[in-house]
Structure 1
């Protein structure tokens, strides 16, 4: 390759991340942390299976808080910078989490897609209980000659099955950050202003998980019975916003706050 067509060093490093093993970690948690998680995504206090240790069923999405170290590790190693955003999340559930205990997590990088001006990193964390995939959209890290990846799926068609809503609480981001994601944009107004928001925003994973509570009710299921869920973060949610999710056949859904889309390509499947 001539000097005129040589790729930037950062772009060459981007392609090399594909398929890389990120290591293994054993993480532990208590039933109190699982209950805190349920409260932080809006579980009602009268659902004793989510908030009372004697009847506790741990929400599968709680596992995402235990696996957050994997994308954080890549950020710390310079795979992407602070311009990057959490684009989407997927979770496949193999079996229900115990009320407390230890999980042995194995993390790796899947595909790294080249979007031209940006790269998309697929970060996969697996254990006996679930497989979770983060998609990190990293502006400035594309152009390395990789595959572009799949296109945007078609929007849901046909008549919607129903609409479910969840009212987030003003203190929800403050609670959720106690589970490990302490990025300042979720608590500090000045940090939020630096990303163009006039006040702190709710964590994407908190808003995504919050939608599963009313969607479970609409499906005639319990939230802990979810076996597959995910979605793309298409807009910000502020603590105190009311999220409305429209669901179609097969568990596909879209969520919005008023006219503002906040989750697209959503999926919530219950057993």
Structure 2
């Protein structure tokens, strides 16, 4: 008996994925901050009496949306990977409450042997876009889409270490992304990795903590974020965040310019000397 024919990838463009309201409390927001690398001394991230919620927490609350597209059969969930992420912050997340979201498929790019599905999630607090790289779904005659950006040629003006913990993937998955490849060695090997690996969204969110410090901002002042996931990160890896400011302005150290009303950064995250998050951009209000 032949396998059912999959709907051409391009036909998914504009497909509504539904609406969902997700509730959370201060405990969830604090757990999220700890899962992306906040210290116990960061009281405004981990102590309910001073709590400011990290804007990237909205991505954990919206994880249902890319999962919904996979469950509808748009691509093979065993081989599709999270290729890139964008986040535009509209307003701060409250300490606790409910977030109502609407999701749909935006662009679908044709990469030849693969397709890239963009899942867009809209709420009053943020607009988030997942780019999902799906092997075997290309060749439908669509546009190829944007190319991967490259890092600036000049040396970075700021560099900081981002340490991950051996139990970080196990902690982060409690926030909603419970794909087995992040916890089960057998599932990780089936996905082509030697052992369970860290969620890309965890690595990217962890980088925003030192990036905020580089421009004298608070991590909760994040207003935009984007980047491509270039290679896996394994729990316990020590990463390096390298940042550039548009126009070559020095970010920190001697000769640093005072922080403006907003700060834009280009960045990449390196692990073992190679990019694990590339083409990164982050913006902070102050």
Same fold (TM over 0.5): yes
User: After the TM superposition, which of the residue ranges 33-42 and 214-223 deviates more from structure 2?
Assistant: 214-223
4+ residue runs over 4 A deviation: none
Match of 2:28 in 1: 33
Match of 1:80 in 2: 75
Indicate which of 173, 187, 208 corresponds to 1:212: 208
Match of 1:258 in 2: 272
Match of 2:102 in 1: 106
The answer (yes or no) to whether the contact 2:150–2:278 under 8 Å persists in 1 is no
Matched residues in 1 for 2:108 and 2:175: separation?
28
| Residue 42 (structure 1) aligned with residue 56 (structure 2) | no
Matched residues in 1 for 2:46 and 2:158: separation?
27
Indicate which of 56, 68, 73 corresponds to 1:61: 56
Matched residues in 1 for 2:41 and 2:13: separation?
45
Match of 1:14 in 2: 9
User: What is the CA deviation profile of residues 158-198 of structure 1, one whole-angstrom value per residue up to 9, with x for unaligned ones?
Assistant: 34211011111111111001111111111112222222322
What value does the CA root-mean-square deviation take over the aligned residues? 1.3
User: After the TM superposition, which of the residue ranges 141-150 and 193-202 deviates more from structure 2?
Assistant: 193-202
The answer (yes or no) to whether the contact 2:24–2:97 under 8 Å persists in 1 is yes
Matched residues in 1 for 2:73 and 2:171: separation?
29
- In structure 1, the gaps of 5 or more residues are 1-7
Matched residues in 2 for 1:214 and 1:124: separation?
27
Q: TM-score, normalised by structure 2?
A: 0.89
Query: Aligned-pair distance for 1:9?
Result: 4.5
Indicate which of 132, 137, 141 corresponds to 2:128: 132
Aligned to 2:236, the other structure's residue is in SS state coil
Superposition pairs of residues 108-257 of structure 1, within 5 angstroms: 108-250=104-246, 251-257=265-271
Aligned to 1:107, the other structure's residue is in SS state strand
The answer (yes or no) to whether the contact 2:8–2:137 under 8 Å persists in 1 is no
Query: Aligned-pair distance for 1:154?
Result: 4.0
Q: TM-score, normalised by structure 1?
A: 0.94
Matched residues in 2 for 1:112 and 1:52: separation?
41
Matched residues in 1 for 2:153 and 2:224: separation?
20
- In structure 2, the gaps of 5 or more residues are 247-264
Give the number of the structure whose residues are more often helix, by fraction. 1
